[in-house]
Amino acid sequence: MAIFFFQPGGDDTLGRLRKTGVVRIGYAVEAPFAILSDRGEVTGEAPEIARHVVERLGISHIEWHQVELGGLIPELRAGRIDVIASGLFITPERSGKVLFSRPTMTVRQAMLVPAGNPRGLGSYREMAGRSDIAAAVLAGSIEDMLMTRLGMADVRLLRVPDALTGRRAVETGLADALLLSEPSLRWMLSRGEPGRLAVAVDDEQESGLPAFAFRLDEPEFRDAWDDALGAYLGSAAHRAMLGSLGLSWSPPAAKEADG
């Protein structure tokens, strides 16, 4: 039986994956981008698109690896996974560490707040400037980066491992808001006790661009993925899949899609 050893920096990643028949995909649970069902099945926007792309690329099996959000890029760079499929937003900081695919949609930033928004929160920038506000963010998330960039003091940033912990922080008063993308917060709100929480959208922030991520030294693999991805995005099958998750197709503008 042939044994294949992985070495980061190989010049034919797609060929290797086709030969072994397995691609290792990392994800962090954040619905609706990546979801772990009650039966232990991985689904969500990014995994379902990945399944389609992997099939088109001629790879027979996906090995799923659940990782906390902040650990995804280190796992990828260390060679323990081959692709990140988790709705990871494109940022300049991350682009220095990984190669991104074309974005799969555009996403607005938002806040999960108590019903009625008693603290009157309207934007991330406003929150960063108020000394009486505490915000929950997923550690290593785009929201974590944004609030740090806006100058919010670490003492007022509650970094949590997952969205459910962030939600509980708002419900218990430990945080005034949970900062996440609008689709994630709408999904969360639809599955909780009605009337206790609300979603406030930040119209000041630029829309986020979720995408797949690859190692810096594997551009040919990323380009092959992009070709298959481009043929699927916006198709009837893609739109139907998004609809099943309560999402709609929001294509990135041409300039955004070009990176």
DSSP string, 196-233: SEEEEE-SSSPPB-EEEEE-TT-HHHHHHHHHHHHHHT
- The pLDDT score that the predictor gives to residue 195 is 79
- The pLDDT score that the predictor gives to residue 178 is 98
Cβ contacts of 187-196, under 8 Å, gap ≥ 24? 187/31, 187/32, 187/245, 187/246, 188/31, 188/112, 188/163, 189/112, 190/246, 192/167, 195/115, 196/114, 196/115, 196/171
Does pTM top 0.75 for this prediction?
A: yes
Q: Over the stretch 204-254, which tens digit does the pLDDT of each residue have?
A: 988 899 999 999 999 999 999 999 999 999 999 999 999 999 888 888 864
Q: Which helix (H) or strand (E) holds 135?
A: strand 135-138
pLDDT level of residue 5 (50, 70, 90 thresholds): very low
Q: Which pair of tokens denotes residue 229?
A: 């991805």
- The pLDDT score that the predictor gives to residue 137 is 97
The backbone torsions φ and ψ at residue 48, rounded to the nearest 5 degrees and listed phi first, read -70, -40
Contact 184, 178 (CB under 8 A): no
- The pLDDT score that the predictor gives to residue 191 is 81
- The pLDDT score that the predictor gives to residue 250 is 85
Spans of all domains in the chain: 13-106+209-257, 109-201
End-to-end Cα spacing for the chain:
43
Candidates 158, 163, 140; CA nearest to 71 is: 140
* Coil vs helix vs strand at 128: helix
- The pLDDT score that the predictor gives to residue 206 is 87
Under 8 Å CB-to-CB from 171, ≥6 apart: which residues? 196, 197
The backbone torsions φ and ψ at residue 172, rounded to the nearest 5 degrees and listed phi first, read -95, -5
- The pLDDT score that the predictor gives to residue 253 is 64
Among the four given CATH numbers 3.40.50.280, 3.30.70.270, 3.40.50.300, 3.40.190.10, the one describing domain 13-106+209-257: 3.40.190.10
Helices (H), the chain: 13-20, 45-56, 72-77, 92-95, 124-129, 142-149, 163-171, 182-190, 219-232, 236-244, 254-257
- The pLDDT score that the predictor gives to residue 258 is 47
Establish whether domains 13-106+209-257 and 109-201 are of one fold: yes
- The pLDDT score that the predictor gives to residue 199 is 95
Q: Over the stretch 114-173, which tens digit does the pLDDT of each residue have?
A: 999 999 999 999 999 999 999 999 998 999 999 999 999 999 999 998 888 999 999 999
Q: Which pair of tokens denotes residue 131?
A: 């000394």
Candidates 92, 112, 124; CA nearest to 205 is: 124
- The pLDDT score that the predictor gives to residue 11 is 53
Instruction: Say which CATH class 109-201 falls into.
Output: alpha beta
Average pLDDT over residues 38-52: 96
DSSP string, 154-170: GGGEEEESSHHHHHHHH
Mean pLDDT of the chain: 91
Question: Tell me, what DSSP letter sits at residue 172?
Answer: T
